[in-house]
Structure 1
């Protein structure tokens, strides 16, 4: 699914005009009819755009201007719920972009969780048997026909294997790929039209969000990838989790019963961290557990760059054994080695209040169409973070701090890529969980101690040698590529007949003088040439008087005088 191509060649990729009509109708009746232009409806034959009962502008006029994010969010949520899985998933993604949207809008998008409809058990049974090639009775001794979870991509059932092990069975919705492909092409087209309609919408970078969303969702559609993600997460977390007194519990994947459309996992029973009242009852020792959890997660971020991309209270459980269970590995984040170094530098800059370095690190990782005004951004960051100067790591409200940084960055038209938003959101989530449970966890203090270890290890001999080798490779590669690219550039330059203009201010008089002198030199050369041409036309043996000179010689000498006089006039004009 190449959504860039789909948005450009819309009429060739939309195979379901009925779906487009349905989407436009749903948005129109929920108040967005005034934003839907003819560029959209022209693709639907014989279509009359319905109008909503209460216009968005009318509702905004009745309420405070501060309520507009909530009003827009509420109406969008209703649209997404009615339009199904693709739009529900998009809404869930938008709920993670605190850097772009207002808090009240985010709250509306968060209500989309678990709003999907169930699928009939017979349908799920057929999918399981077709995917695994085994009769369901040969796998399970019992399976509950009522789903315990409904998501936009899959439906979750609970059952018991033949050996008595209790499991959960995740089944992909039938035909979901086709639905998502069609919806994505329509979304790409709608967003391209909306961005033409409004500069404010264009600044939200919805097209980029959709591209990232497509890549993420493509992985979530394959349950084999989710199974591999869980195994990798387990392997990395085991490096930091005490094997004798384990803190984390990752559900075991039954690979023999797992395929692209079906995922069978060990069932873990516990209290979700989103259920604050129930977790509060087991608060004893929870501060130490969460402190240790934050420490392990911070090491995973800083050392491995691998982390859970959808970490929230509903995916974390407090088990009766005292362990913390984590589920749902469909979407994971991954930072490269360079990105991890950037991340370390960003956090360290925040802790040391080095805001200039902070901005330069963000310039290295963010995307922007034009180079921002660095001094202005640094000034804005200093203004926003002034209240935190002088505070210790433990005294800093990390959630507020990270929100302010991201919002200030995006205010200057810098787009923060998805992986970076996810890693910051994961940190905010962990901090938010501890605060919601009224636990005293030194979040930034833990990060600070781990960062100091990483900075110390960066002077390790092996690391320095490795960095040096990579730097040498880059230099050699650049030395080889620059002549080629310069050759291609000059070739294109001459082929396209490009021209450039140089403007120099403050030396206009000198430039005019030089220009006049060059013109005088040109006229003098022309004058001399015509003078010489006139002489060549003379027949020296026949010229005994002026009347014997040929007319052609007089013409050339006249032109010579004309160019000489013109040259002197230009030179005098330039001297004034």
Structure 2
């Protein structure tokens, strides 16, 4: 199967031989010629690898192993900057994966500069008019021909609408989809070869990172999606930012002028939080605002599961009105209800130093190819987090703590999905902004003060009923299908496709234990069934109630408790 996948990727790649030659040449020029010579050039017809004056293998041999991530990161950064949009975006993504890479490597990726060139204004004008279906002068009284922003996917211009409103106009680069499609087909091929080259590289799960990244990037290529993201973010944040004066300002989207290739937004003017010196001059009252921001974002994560996936100092502004402006909604994160419950449990486990529960929650959300050694992970977590035991929530450095947890998890070959990395990183960003400005925002203290409310609201009666209904549906489905599967098994067995040899001599105790376990399972199923039956009767208004709960619910729950106790007694008896 792997051979077939590789062949498909190579078939796509070979159509782009010229681009592949360019990429290979750039990597070789920057010292990666040993990797290039490991089999990639054999797939490129009539290609001679240029000699490299830089030998990364020789340089690494002369340096301490602690310097390797920085050296490799520096070389990769130069490659990415030269190769353009897709690779710059990839480097920016890698800079967010503190769970996978060393700090010095991450620092090099953070230095990446998007070398994207501006597009001619006439080209941008044609794209705008094609999107609007009318002349640009029919919508805008003025558009500044000099772009105020140049990125991999789009170029940003300032403008003024006919009604006098100041706006920013984001125009997608022509042909960017084809460029990204080509580069991704080549990236998939290169990573396949790279993972063959090194077991350590394969453990980084770069293939999964690329697939997640590609899906996210495709959404960023459609400005209609970014517009909808901004509106949804505004709607959700308004539920919590509901007191005057408002804390947050989200730019208004002019939907009538927005399309797949053009996005027209309200222009908001302020000081980016990345400009620390300028922000420091205006930080009076900022500590309370950032604390409130952390509280609002925490509620958004936990109650709605929707959050900004690219939150950093350059996307947050302090406006003259005192509001915090947020821009760039091309990439958003989403936690399903179950994942939100996991997140509550993870934070609560950290606050209460319940490291065993912490690991089991991560086992529920992480991906892994082999069953991890749970005891070893718990031991490593305890070792890493020992300095935090006894500290109050306010005394804990949340950024360091979360980094240590994620690093320890991934060290045991557990892959943390993108949305989980993003939600931790966005919280760390807010905490990091406050610390960089010498503000005393109590990140974990805010979470601790709200955790009981969060737990109560996350496990309400309606959700319990919904979960109960789904569980009963699964149980009924399993009960319906079990006879069919058993019939099929007997049929295949009679054909001689299965053979069993049972030896009981000397294993009577083990067999009794298995029998007890099966009985316990039966009683557990009955207990669960009556528990859910009780849940279903909660809203039965036709039945008498006791303590505001239906009598039928009390009856079913009593039966559930009886079968549960009976099951445990049977299990305990089997252990003797």
- Normalising by structure 2, report the TM-score: 0.84
Secondary structure of the equivalent of 2:243? coil
1:6–1:13 contact (8 Å) kept in structure 2: no
Deviations 1:302-330 (A, max 9, x none): 11110000000000000000000000000
CA contact (8 A) 1:73 1:108 kept: yes
Q: Indicate the larger mover: 552-561 or 310-319.
A: 552-561
**Contact 2:270–2:319 (8 Å) recurs in 1:** yes
- Give the Å deviation of 1:540: 88
1:23-34 mapped onto 2 (5 Å cutoff): 23-34=23-34
Deviation at 1:42, TM superposition (A): 1.8
Distance, in Å, in 2 between the alignment partners of 1:87 and 1:214 is 12
CA pair 204-500 structure 1, distance change in 2 beyond 3 A: farther
Contact 1:113–1:151, Cα closer than 8 Å, also in 2: no
For 1:254 and 1:546, locate their aligned partners in 2 and report how far apart those are by CA, in whole Å.
55
Residues 538 and 405 of structure 1: CA distance in aligned 2, closer, same or farther (over 3 Å): closer
* Counterparts of 1:454 and 1:539, CA distance in 2: 24
Question: 1:387–1:178: structure 2 CA closer, same or farther, 3 Å change rule?
Answer: same
Of 75-84 and 538-547, more deviation after overlay is shown by: 538-547
Retained in 2: the 8 A contact 1:172–1:262? Answer: yes
Cα offset, 1:487, TM superposition? 7.2
Q: Which runs of 5+ in 2 are unaligned?
A: none
1:357-390 superposed Cα distances (whole Å, 9 cap, x missing partner): 0000000000000110000000000000011111
State whether residues 3 and 188 of structure 1, in contact with CA within 8 Å, keep that contact through their aligned partners in structure 2: no
Give the secondary-structure state (helix, strand or coil) at the position aligned to 1:363.
helix
User: Given the superposition, is the C-alpha separation of residues 575 and 31 from structure 1 closer, same or farther in structure 2, using an over 3 Å criterion?
Assistant: closer
Distance in 2, Cα, partners of 1:185 & 1:342: 35
Q: 1:92–1:113: 8 Å Cα contact kept in structure 2?
A: no
Shift of 1:64: 2.9
Q: Show the 5 A alignment for 1:219-234.
A: 219-234=219-234
Residue by residue, what CA displacement relative to the aligned partner does 1:381-433 show, whole Å, maximum 9, x if unpaired? 00000111111111110000000000000000000000001001111111101
Taking a change above 3 Å as real, the CA distance of residues 201 and 506 of structure 1, as seen in their structure-2 partners, is: farther
User: What is the alpha-carbon distance in structure 2 between the residues aligned to residue 419 and residue 556 of structure 1?
Assistant: 40
What are the superposed Cα offsets for residues 499-537 of structure 1, whole Å, 9 maximum, x if unpaired? 999999999999999999999999999999999999999
Are 1:3 and 1:211, in contact at CA under 8 Å, matched by a contact in 2?
no
| Cα distance in 1, alignment partners of residues 376 and 539 from structure 2 | 78
Asked if the contact 1:252–1:266 (Cα under 8 Å) also holds between the matched residues in 2, the reply is: yes
**Count of paired positions:** 576
Contact residue 270 and residue 319 of structure 1 kept, 8 A: yes
Measure the CA separation in 2 of the matches of 1:248 and 1:539: 40
* CA distance 1:60–1:239, change in 2 (3 Å): same
Q: Is the 8 A contact 1:140 1:159 kept in 2?
A: yes
Q: Which residue of 1 aligns with 2:487?
A: 487
Partner residue, 1:91: 91
* d(CA) in 1 for partners of 2:532, 2:391: 87
SS at match of 1:156: strand
Instruction: Give how far 1:15 is off.
Output: 1.9
**Contact 1:7–1:185 under 8 Å retained in 2:** no
Aligned residue for 1:160, secondary structure, equals strand
Deviations 1:274-314 (A, max 9, x none): 00000000010000110111110000011111000000000
Measured in 1, the distance between the counterparts of 2:377 and 2:3 equals: 33
Give structure 1 stretches of 5+ with no counterpart. none
The range that moved more, 427-436 or 238-247, is 238-247
Q: Which moved more, 1:341-350 or 1:529-538?
A: 529-538
Query: 1:462, CA displacement in angstroms?
Result: 3.0
The answer to which of 509-518 and 285-294 deviates more is: 509-518
Please report how far the alpha carbon of residue 65 of structure 1 lies from its aligned counterpart in structure 2 after TM superposition: 2.3
Rounded to whole Å, the distance in 2 between the matches of 1:265 and 1:541 is 51
CA separation of 1:267 and 1:563: change in aligned 2, threshold 3 A? closer
CA deviation profile, 1:432-456 (whole Å, cap 9, x unmatched): 0110011001100111222210223
Contact 1:7/1:189, CA 8 A, preserved across alignment: no
Deviation at 1:482, TM superposition (A): 5.2
Seen in structure 2, the aligned counterparts of structure 1 residues 335 and 390 have a Cα distance that, compared at 3 Å, is same
Write the distance in 1 (CA, Å) between the matches of 2:458 and 2:101. 37
**Secondary structure at 1:408's aligned position in 2?**
helix
Shift of 1:353: 0.4
The answer on whether the counterparts of 1:537 and 1:553 sit within 8 Å (CA) in structure 2 is yes
Deviates more, 1:303-312 or 1:40-49: 40-49
How far is the alpha carbon of 1:61 from its aligned partner?
3.0
Equivalents in 2 of 1:543, 1:405: separation in Å?
A: 50
Alpha-carbon separation, structure 1, partners of 2:540 and 2:451: 96
Mapped to 2, the partners of 1:337 and 1:536 lie a distance apart of 21
Q: Report the 3-state secondary structure (helix = DSSP H, G, I; strand = E; otherwise coil) of the residue aligned with 1:31.
A: coil
How many Å separate the matches in 2 of 1:5 and 1:409? 29
Q: Does the 8 Å CA contact 1:114/1:149 hold for their aligned counterparts?
A: no
Distance 1:107 1:510, change over 3 A: closer
Rate the CA distance shift 1:455–1:570 in 2: closer, same or farther, 3 A: closer
Change (3 A) 1:466 1:45: same
User: Which segment is superposed worse, 121-130 or 477-486?
Assistant: 477-486
Structure 1 residues 71-109: Cα deviation after superposition (integer angstroms, max 9, x where no partner): 111111111111111111111111110100111111111
* Equivalent residues of 1:351, 1:448 under 8 A apart: yes
Deviation for aligned residue 1:264: 0.5
Pairing 1:252-291 to 2, within 5 Å after superposition: 252-291=252-291
Q: Is the contact made by 2:393 and 2:442 (CA closer than 8 Å) also made in structure 1?
A: yes
The answer to whether the 8 A contact 1:118-1:147 is kept is yes
* Greater mean deviation of Cα atoms: 555-564 or 345-354: 555-564
Cα deviations by residue, 1:114-141 (Å, 9 ceiling, x for unpaired): 4322212111111111122121111211
Task: Give the distance between the partners of 1:470 and 1:124, measured in 2 at CA.
Answer: 52
The CA distance in 2 between the partners of 1:351 and 1:552, in whole Å, is 39
Cross-structure match for 2:554: 554
